[in-house]
Amino acid sequence: MRKIVGGKLHGIRVTEANLEYHGSITLDPDHCEAAGILPLEFVEIWNKNSGARLSTYVILGQRGSHCCILNGAAARTCQPGDELIICSSIYVEGEQIADLSPAVLTFDSANNVVERLRYSVRQDEAGRYHFAILDESGSRLPIPLASRASPKRAS
């Protein structure tokens, strides 16, 4: 079995950090449903502001609230306004990868969904994998790649 991205909330902002609640992350059910993230599912959280990485489980907040509340110990790792990447995982057999199309939502500073993307993997006749990021219409988007230009040498 391989651990694969199940769904992702990319760039969602922390709306509150509640140290006194007994744990978890509270998210808007609309965002979770659109990304395929389930209540009580464990997710990995990566804080783009601080670099903190943690794991906790999801509880659902008020629908339409755009909330992203870190609770309990997780509240120490994030401040309101911090930009997060929240990723769920699924386990699949390697050959099942081509059957998946995980959702990726991107957000503005008010936690409105800006883009609804999909990851896509296919395997060609030679067994090589091909990865694509697709927009809502199914069009391929550019994938950021390292520059192939050789570094300039100091003279």
Catalytic residues: 24, 57
Decide if 89 contacts 58 (C-beta within 8 A): no
Which of 70, 72, 64 is closest to 32 using CA atoms? 64
Of the candidates 151, 132, 148, the residue with the CA atom closest to the CA atom of residue 140: 132
What tokens were used for 32? 């979770």
Length of the chain: 155
Beta strand segments in 14-141, E: 16-18, 25-27, 42-47, 53-60, 68-71, 83-92, 103-107, 113-123, 129-134, 140-141
